[in-house]
Amino acid sequence: MSSVLTIAVGVAQDVERGRSFDPQTAAQRDGERHLVVSSVGLSSATFNPSDRGTLRLLYRLARDSAVTVNVYGPDNGLVRTLVQGVRRNMGSNQELWDGKDLAGKIVPNEAYFFNIETVDSSVITEVYDPTTFSGGEFGEITRGEVSRGGGTVSYQLSQPSRVLLRAGIAGSAMLKTIVDWEPRPAGAVTEYWNGKDEDNLIDLLGRKYTMILSYMTLPETSVITYGNINYTYREYRALVKRKPEIKSDRGMTNNRKLSPHFLKSPLTDRSFKVKLGFSTLDRPGAKDVPEARDRVVLRLDIDPKDREVIENQQFEIILFVDTVFYIEEERGYLPFNIPIELKDLPPGEHVITANVITFGDQIGVGSRKVRVVK
């Protein structure tokens, strides 16, 4: 069974193009000069370094120059220097990247972009930095198709982008982050989802559900790597002890409107798991679905490894019983303990759901069942 679903409202906008310059640039020194770097492109929008794939960065030089090419990751950290101060001739040129970092480790599946710095015979520096004129523009996908039988959500992207796909009950709880600002290429995209919430307790497709599919464009000439099954980006950053060198901030050269998520690190700009427990019912040997008569004391917390997401920002806690609003704590704190009244509920299993929502729009979700007995 499949259905066409209106997911959100929005129209993708084309990206205005430009170039970034260091203070001592050709254009500033001499108005008649032309850009040194042009026609920048990639041999592929995606590639698999784990399968010994190689990517070609293509570009043209207006004159002979010493060239430095750096690869940067999703948090603007230096991943690899492909060439440094190497002489390249006027005309078409290319540099190769095998998808490895400075230590020779295969990079995790993510989006990466390139900076090209040139110094000509007049010792004039020019920098091609795609983040100054492209990427970060926000939009929402208007249409998509959900297939229960295939367990998929399908949609079209007009540009390579980071995608956020969430699902919940209309007018009620957010229940699942299906895609969490992950990079996707342009064209037809298929995501896999079993139709249930984070804890597999609630079947959303059997209810009046809603989905929100947002995106922000990737910088020009970004490449998306795939095929690394050994570690995620977060795990990779934990393995690499050294702190990466951060790309210089050169500012924007156009007036595009950026998503507030564009400048945030994926290490902290992400969803997180909410842990729910019952203070008096959870004990060794207890049933997976505890039984209670009139009330339970709910304890809410998040894993210590996720604390970095909510550090130094406010958040609110919203509780739902069977996806019906129960209570809201606008200035949340952790751990959070609250009694949940059950006496008005009919006998049987019920689901308590918590949404923890930061002011930066990160959302944590958790659900837990309880059986009401009379």
C-alpha–C-alpha distance, residues 151 and 186, integer Å: 21
Percent of residues, the chain, with pLDDT higher than 90: 80
Scored b (16 or more CB within 10 A) or e, 278-296 reads beeeeeeeeeeebebeeeb
DSSP character for 362?
A: -
pLDDT of 321 higher than 50? yes
Which of the four pLDDT bands, split at 50, 70 and 90, describes residue 312? Answer: confident
pLDDT at 34: 62
140/370 Cα distance (integer angstroms): 37
Q: Which amino acid is at 196?
A: K
> Average per-residue pLDDT in the chain?
89
| SS3 (DSSP) at 305 | helix
**pLDDT, mean of residues 161-173:** 96
Residue 348 main-chain phi, psi, to 5 deg: 125, -175
Q: How far apart are CA 272 and CA 279, in angstroms?
A: 22
pLDDT per position as a tens digit, 2-50: 444 444 322 223 222 333 333 333 333 333 346 899 999 999 999 999 9
Could you tell me if residue 239 is inside a domain? no
Percent of the chain residues past pLDDT 70, beyond the cut: 90
What backbone phi and psi angles, to 5 degrees, belong to 307? -60, -30
| 337 in any annotated domain | yes
pLDDT at 285: 59
Count the neighbouring beta carbons within 10 Å of the beta carbon of residue 313. 11
Residue 333 within a domain: yes
Beta-ladder partners of 320: 325, 353
Per-residue pLDDT, 180: 97
Paired tokens of 346: 């009919």
What length is written for the chain?
374
Average pLDDT over residues 156-169: 97
pLDDT in tens, 133-148: 999 999 999 799 999 8
**Contact of 19 with 253, CB cutoff 8 Å:** yes
* DSSP letters for 196-260: B-TTS--BGGGS-EEEEEEEEEPPTT-EEE----S--HHHHHHH--SPPPBPP----SS-PPBPT
Residue 301 lies inside a defined structural domain of this protein: yes
pLDDT at residue 160 is higher than 80: yes
Distance CA 140, CA 9 (A): 6
Query: Which pLDDT score, from 0 to 100, does residue 31 have?
Result: 38
pLDDT at 29: 35
Residue 341 resides in a domain: yes
pLDDT digits (tens, 9 = 90+) for 245-259: 999 999 899 999 999
**CATH code at position 312:** 2.60.40.10
Domain membership of residue 314 as a residue range: 272-372
- pLDDT (mean) for 115-127: 92
Q: What pLDDT is recorded for position 286? A: 62
- Report which residue type is found at 177: T
- 336 neighbors 356 (Cβ within 8 angstroms): no
* Separation between Cα atoms, residue 187 and residue 8, nearest integer Å: 18
What whole-number distance in Å separates Cα of residue 239 and Cα of residue 22? Answer: 34
Domain-located, residue 309:
yes
Q: Which of 374, 307, 293 minimizes the C-alpha distance to 340? A: 293
* Residue 346 falls inside a structural domain: yes
Tens-place pLDDT, residues 217-271: 999 999 999 999 999 999 999 988 788 999 999 989 999 999 999 989 999 999 9
Report angle CA 192, 258, 130 to the nearest 5 degrees. 90
Give counts: helices (H), strands (E), the chain: 3, 25
Give pLDDT tens digits for 71-85: 999 999 999 999 999
Would you say 47 and 227 are in contact if contact means Cβ atoms under 8 Å apart? no
Q: Domain for residue 115, yes or no?
A: no
3-state secondary structure (DSSP) of residue 101:
coil
Give the span between the Cα atoms of 7 and 57, in whole angstroms: 36
- How far apart CA 40 and CA 144 sit, in angstroms, is 32
Structurally, the chain folds into a number of domains equal to 1
Assess contact for 244 and 105: CB atoms under 8 A: no
pLDDT of amino acid 24: 35
Each residue of 261-307: pLDDT tens digit? 998 999 999 999 999 999 877 776 566 898 999 999 999 999 999 99
Q: For the chain, state the CA radius of gyration.
A: 25
Beta carbons of 43 and 55 less than 8 angstroms apart? yes
